């Protein structure tokens, strides 16, 4: 019984190490997603088309960022954060602050059923958060 309790404690400790973002961070991320990302990715993050205002890119299919396998090309939250930071939003890459990109990443983690543990997601901690 004691060994089982110890094992459970170790597992709980490990879970605490990899589930790093706050509910407030995810809430801010949802708002930012709506403002900066939904125009292409759709209001629910289920994909869409690039709008006409993007000129030559208009009409291209935009992948979903919410739903089964939506983030399959990213191994960690850090991969997702860095990708978004360098390439999103499409019309002004890098225009958000690190805190804003982390908030959007936290919201996407929440949508992928990675539970918050109350610790803020940071560029450093994001590397420890597996997506798949």
Asked whether residue 86 is assigned to any structural domain, the reply reads yes
User: Residue 23 belongs to what domain range?
Assistant: 2-126
Structure-token match 């961070």, residue found: 25
Encode the chain (132 residues) as per-residue pLDDT tens digits.
Answer: 444 433 333 334 444 445 579 999 999 999 999 999 999 999 999 999 999 999 999 999 999 999 999 999 999 999 999 999 999 999 999 999 999 999 999 999 999 999 888 999 999 999 999 987
Beta bridge partners of 61: 49
User: How far is Cα 89 from Cα 3, in angstroms, rounded to an integer?
Assistant: 50
Which among 83, 101, 84, 109 has a CA at the least distance from the CA of 21?
109
Angle of CA points 60, 64, 67, to nearest 5°: 160
Asked whether residue 83 is assigned to any structural domain, the reply reads yes
* pTM reported for the whole predicted model: 0.84
- Name the domain count of the chain: 1
Residue 43, pLDDT score:
97
Asked whether residue 131 is assigned to any structural domain, the reply reads no
Contact between 40 and 84 under an 8 Å Cβ cutoff? The reply is: no
CATH at 40: 1.10.760.10
Residue 72, pLDDT score:
94
Asked whether residue 132 is assigned to any structural domain, the reply reads no
**Cβ neighbours of residue 96 closer than 8 Å, sequence gap 6 or more:** 32, 36, 85, 89, 104
Residue 132, pLDDT score:
76
Three-state DSSP state, 17: helix
Q: Which H or E run contains 47?
A: none
């Amino acid at each position: 019984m004691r060994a089982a309790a110890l094992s459970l404690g170790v597992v709980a400790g490990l879970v605490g190490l990899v589930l790093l973002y706050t509910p407030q961070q995810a809430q801010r991320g949802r708002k930012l997603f709506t403002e900066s990302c939904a125009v292409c990715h759709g209001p629910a993050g289920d994909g869409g088309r690039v709008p006409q205002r993007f000129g030559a890119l208009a009409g291209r299919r935009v992948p979903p960022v919410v739903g089964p396998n939506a983030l399959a090309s990213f191994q960690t939250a850090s991969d997702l954060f860095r990708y978004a930071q360098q390439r999103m939003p499409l019309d002004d890459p890098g225009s958000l602050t690190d805190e804003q990109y982390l908030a959007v990443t936290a919201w996407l983690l929440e949508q992928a059923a990675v539970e918050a543990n109350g610790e803020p997601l940071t560029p450093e901690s994001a590397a420890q958060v597996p997506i798949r």
